[in-house]
Amino acid sequence: MATSNTKVVRLSFATEGGKTFSITIPNPREDLNQAEVLTVMNTIVSSNIFLTTSGALTGLRDVRVIGTVTDDLFDPSQA
């Protein structure tokens, strides 16, 4: 039985079609701050580098750092 901890940062953007487009980045820095993230997100929107099925990115929706703890209750033997 093993326990693992993982963290991701999820950047969510508004699209032209009124939907949400998210980018998930694993293992964010511990000292990540709001100003840095918002600067990067605004650069992504203004650079127009992503075209989604609901159109280009038009604005910022949300930023979340998500931590997950996984307890593996069963490890089958490796034969």
Instruction: Tell me the pLDDT tens digit for each residue of 4-18.
Output: 999 999 999 999 999
Does residue 44 lie in a domain region?
Answer: yes
Residues in the chain: 79
More confident residue, 37 or 72: 37
Does residue 49 lie in a domain region?
Answer: yes
Does residue 78 lie in a domain region?
Answer: no
Does residue 79 lie in a domain region?
Answer: no
More confident residue, 78 or 9: 9
Does residue 66 lie in a domain region?
Answer: yes
Does residue 20 lie in a domain region?
Answer: yes
Q: Measured between alpha carbons, how far is 21 from 14 in angstroms, rounded to an integer?
A: 6
For position 79, what pLDDT does the model report? 59
Is the alpha carbon torsion for 58, 62, 63, 68 positive or negative? Answer: negative
Name the residue range of residue 62's domain. 2-72
Q: How many distinct structural domains can be found in the chain? A: 1
Does residue 27 lie in a domain region?
Answer: yes
pTM attached to this predicted model: 0.85
